[in-house]
């Protein structure tokens, strides 16, 4: 089943009096559980697509479907719910909260999702966060602040944070752009392992050729159009 479908999606940004075309009629489908790479040079539209998939921006025309529902038919409340419950976000600059430690950064999306929870559920949450900390290889660093971690470790925190709500989809915008190539590969390998274990659909943008080879599905953009759409493991 396609978890995501774009049909002839166009996006223009208004820059003063001029319209900047960012997507010029993009169509593709993404299968549930796939590890998907969106590739293309700077300015080709990668972030714009991830913003549309993350329900943080809307298309100028065309249809964006998540779980077979057009996002244009959803209310703002529905979109907020999808963002908080069904989608995890990973950014190139990590975007951790500097005053919170590793554990608290990972916990943070849960505080937005459930305002009041029972003591029992709180205990279950703690067990799951401990499990995620171990999964991303940060056991023993729960009390460290982001400033006390390397770039690779910060991105591991961000991956655990993206997973804590058990989302169906994780969106990662250039997750390796601020890491050296070896650390970048480790981060992609970790995302791939989690993708296999949890069957979470991962969609990440990159312009690193070596990293995209691990993907199940490659969508290549140029000047706001899809120039290659290839699924490796049908």
C-beta neighbour count of 148 within 10 angstroms: 12
If one asks whether residue 133 binds ligand ADP (CB under 6 A), the answer comes out as no
Taking CB atoms within 8 Å and a gap of at least 24, the contacts of 127-131 are 128/164, 129/103, 129/160, 129/164
Binding mask of the shown chain, residues 9 to 28, with x at each position contacting ligand ADP by CB under 6 A: ----x-x----x-x------
If one asks whether residue 149 binds ligand ADP (CB under 6 A), the answer comes out as yes
Residue 1 or 15 with smaller CB distance to ligand ADP: 15
- The phi and psi torsions of 216 (rounded to 5 degrees) equal -80, -25
- The phi and psi torsions of 138 (rounded to 5 degrees) equal -120, 20
Residue choice 43, 71, 81, 86 for contact with ligand ADP (CB under 6 A): 43
Rounded-to-integer distance, Cα 100 and Cα 200, Å: 26
Contact range with ligand ADP by CB under 6 A, out of 70-78, 127-135, 142-150, 193-201? 142-150
If one asks whether residue 47 binds ligand ADP (CB under 6 A), the answer comes out as yes
Residue 223 CB, shortest distance to ligand ADP, in Å, is 8
If one asks whether residue 167 binds ligand ADP (CB under 6 A), the answer comes out as no
Rounded-to-integer distance, Cα 15 and Cα 1, Å: 38
Residue 48 or 201 with smaller CB distance to ligand ADP: 48
Residue 129 CB, shortest distance to ligand ADP, in Å, is 19
If one asks whether residue 92 binds ligand ADP (CB under 6 A), the answer comes out as no
Q: Which of residues 178-207 bind ligand ADP (CB under 6 A)?
A: 183
The answer to whether the beta carbons of residues 155 and 94 sit under 8 Å apart is: yes
- Strand (E) positions, the chain? 2-15, 18-31, 35-39, 61-66, 69-70, 87-90, 169-172, 201-206, 217-222, 225-231
Q: Which of residues 214-233 bind ligand ADP (CB under 6 A)?
A: none
The answer to whether the beta carbons of residues 103 and 134 sit under 8 Å apart is: no
Compute how many residues bind ligand ADP; rule: CB under 6 A. Answer: 20
Rounded-to-integer distance, Cα 31 and Cα 99, Å: 38
Binding site for ligand ADP (CB under 6 A): 13, 15, 20, 22, 40, 42-48, 147-153, 183
């Amino acid at each position: 089943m396609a978890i995501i479908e774009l049909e002839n999606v166009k996006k223009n940004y208004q820059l003063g009096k001029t319209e900047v075309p960012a997507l010029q009629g993009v169509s593709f489908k993404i299968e549930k559980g796939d590890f998907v790479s969106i590739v293309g040079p700077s300015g080709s539209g990668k972030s714009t697509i991830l913003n549309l998939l993350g329900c943080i921006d809307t298309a100028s025309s065309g249809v964006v479907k998540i779980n077979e529902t057009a996002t244009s038919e959803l209310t703002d409340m529905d979109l907020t719910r999808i963002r908080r419950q069904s989608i995890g976000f990973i950014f190139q600059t990590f975007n951790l909260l500097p005053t919170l430690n590793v554990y608290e950064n990972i916990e943070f999306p849960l505080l937005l999702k459930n305002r009041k929870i029972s003591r029992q559920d709180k205990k279950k949450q703690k067990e799951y966060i401990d499990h995620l900390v171990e999964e991303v290889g940060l056991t023993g660093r729960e009390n460290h602040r982001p400033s006390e971690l390397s770039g690779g470790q910060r991105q591991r925190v961000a991956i655990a944070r993206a997973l804590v709500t058990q989302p169906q989809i994780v969106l990662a915008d250039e997750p390796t752009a601020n890491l050296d190539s070896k650390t970048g590969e480790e981060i992609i390998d970790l995302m791939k392992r989690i993708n296999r274990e949890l069957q979470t659909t991962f969609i990440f943008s990159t312009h690193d050729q070596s990293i995209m080879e691990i993907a199940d599905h490659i969508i290549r953009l140029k000047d706001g159009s899809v120039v290659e759409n290839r699924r490796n493991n049908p």
